């Protein structure tokens, strides 16, 4: 039996830190509102000359170093991003070239904030089938580029960053199971609806969100998909050692954790320092706790994400 196992993690946050106090100067908001509604205190913004592939490159180099693999070992690259470098080619192709990977194949996944979990699920299938031996799964975003600075209900929430994992074929698990869902009837609730036509942008290229619709859906979806993953593996919430939920809002994460009766020390929170980095949020949070040595061999880790689409999903891992 072939399993897929994460053997190294890496992440990168751009240098520029933007605090809630910084945002108070450009939009009608305040630190108290942002912290009490979301838990966010600061986020990072990419420099003008940094694209998603540049952030991804550093995250991947760190993950590959941690895993002890080189460019010659990678035969699949999947990038979850909603803020690609360009319309095409895929950011994954640009990343492949920057990494010096000459073999295998690379593609992007568009599942917004669920992009990393969708990517991990896809890599898991390729590895279990025997067609891929070693994959890079990446979440990389520059959401600061699609903020509407006139909309205080969204522009304070998001940040830029990248996270990556090296996933390798293994005799032992690994990724225990993954569970993906989509409900396109909610596609209006979280969208960047613009596109390119005739050399111009058609529609708005800025992020729009019905915050309360997303909030209500997310708390229910996280609880349901967590139980789905646990049941598939004959586990109960007490078996989870770390819960790494999409870092959009501390209140949503803690609500989901409460429904699963998880104590605070099992819940990973990085939203205070990262903001919502969409597809990058879970691999950024995972790398943070791995480097803090808060995850031990044999631990059971639940990842859960939800984003525009709505697209959501979970992955249950044995570390």
The nearest distance, CB 61 to ligand UT7, in angstroms, is 26
Alpha-carbon distances of 198 from 33, 116, 195, 202, 203, rounded to whole Å: 41, 32, 10, 9, 13
In the list 16, 211, 232, 233, the residue contacting ligand UT7 (rule: CB under 6 A) is 211
**Cβ closest to ligand UT7, residue 55 vs residue 218:** 218
Backbone dihedral angles phi then psi of residue 305, each to the nearest 5 degrees: -140, 155
Residues 86-125 contacting ligand UT7, CB under 6 A: 113
In the list 270, 276, 277, 288, the residue contacting ligand UT7 (rule: CB under 6 A) is 276
- What distance in Å separates the CA atoms of residue 12 and residue 191, rounded to the nearest whole number? 25
- What distance in Å separates the CA atoms of residue 245 and residue 33, rounded to the nearest whole number? 22
- What distance in Å separates the CA atoms of residue 14 and residue 17, rounded to the nearest whole number? 8
Count Cβ atoms below 10 Å from residue 61 Cβ, excluding itself: 16
**Residue 246 designated active-site:** yes
**Cβ closest to ligand UT7, residue 8 vs residue 275:** 275
- Per CB under 6 A, 218 contacts ligand UT7: yes
The nearest distance, CB 249 to ligand UT7, in angstroms, is 4
**Tokens encoding 251:** 């209140």
Residue with tokens 């010096």: 100
With the CA atoms of 10, 11, 12 and 13 taken in that order, what torsion angle do they form, in degrees rounded to the nearest 10? -160
**Cβ closest to ligand UT7, residue 270 vs residue 276:** 276
- Per CB under 6 A, 52 contacts ligand UT7: no
- Per CB under 6 A, 253 contacts ligand UT7: no
**Cβ closest to ligand UT7, residue 127 vs residue 146:** 146
**Cβ closest to ligand UT7, residue 8 vs residue 39:** 39
In the list 8, 139, 163, 307, the residue contacting ligand UT7 (rule: CB under 6 A) is 307
In the list 107, 215, 227, 319, the residue contacting ligand UT7 (rule: CB under 6 A) is 215
**Would the CA dihedral through 279, 67, 285, 242 be positive or negative?**
positive
Q: Which of 132, 218, 202 is nearest to 167 (CA)?
A: 132
**How many residues make contact with ligand UT7 (CB under 6 A)?**
21
Estimate to the nearest angstrom the gap between the alpha carbon of 151 and the chain centroid: 23
**Tokens encoding 18:** 């933007």
In the list 66, 67, 252, 290, the residue contacting ligand UT7 (rule: CB under 6 A) is 252
List residues with catalytic annotation.
Answer: 113, 246, 276
Q: Residue numbers of the site for ligand UT7 (CB under 6 A)?
A: 29, 33-34, 37-38, 113, 152-153, 156, 190, 211-212, 214-215, 218, 248-249, 252, 276, 306-307
């Amino acid at each position: 039996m072939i399993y897929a196992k994460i053997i190294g993690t890496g992440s990168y946050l751009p240098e520029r830190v933007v605090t809630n106090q910084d945002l108070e100067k450009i939009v009608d908001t305040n630190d108290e509102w942002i912290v009490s509604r979301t838990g966010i205190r600061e986020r990072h913004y990419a420099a003008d000359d940094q694209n998603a592939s540049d952030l991804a490159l550093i995250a991947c180099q760190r993950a590959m170093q941690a895993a002890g693999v080189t460019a010659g070992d990678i035969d699949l690259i999947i990038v979850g991003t909603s803020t690609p470098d360009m319309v095409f080619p895929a950011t994954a192709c640009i990343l492949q070239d920057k990494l010096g990977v000459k073999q295998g194949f690379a593609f992007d996944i568009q599942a917004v904030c669920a992009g990393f979990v969708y990517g991990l699920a896809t890599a898991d299938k390729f590895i279990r089938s025997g067609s891929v031996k070693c994959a890079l799964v990446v979440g990389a975003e520059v959401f600061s580029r699609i903020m509407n600075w006139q909309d205080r209900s969204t522009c304070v929430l998001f940040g830029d960053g990248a996270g990556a994992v090296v996933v390798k074929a293994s005799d032992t698990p690994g990724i225990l199971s993954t569970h993906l869902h989509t409900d396109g009837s909610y596609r209006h609730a979280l969208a960047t609806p613009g596109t390119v036509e005739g050399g111009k942008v058609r529609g708005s290229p800025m992020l729009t969100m019905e915050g309360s619709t997303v909030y209500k859906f997310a708390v229910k979806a996280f609880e349901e998909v967590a139980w789905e993953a646990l049941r598939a593996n004959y586990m109960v919430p007490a078996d989870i050692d770390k819960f790494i939920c999409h870092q959009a809002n501390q209140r949503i994460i803690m609500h989901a954790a409460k429904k699963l009766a998880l104590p605070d020390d099992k819940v990973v929170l990085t939203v205070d320092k990262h903001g919502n980095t969409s597809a990058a949020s879970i691999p950024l949070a995972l790398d943070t706790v791995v480097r803090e040595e808060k995850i031990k061999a044999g631990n059971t880790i639940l990842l859960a994400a939800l984003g525009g689409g709505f697209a959501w999903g979970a992955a249950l891992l044995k570390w």
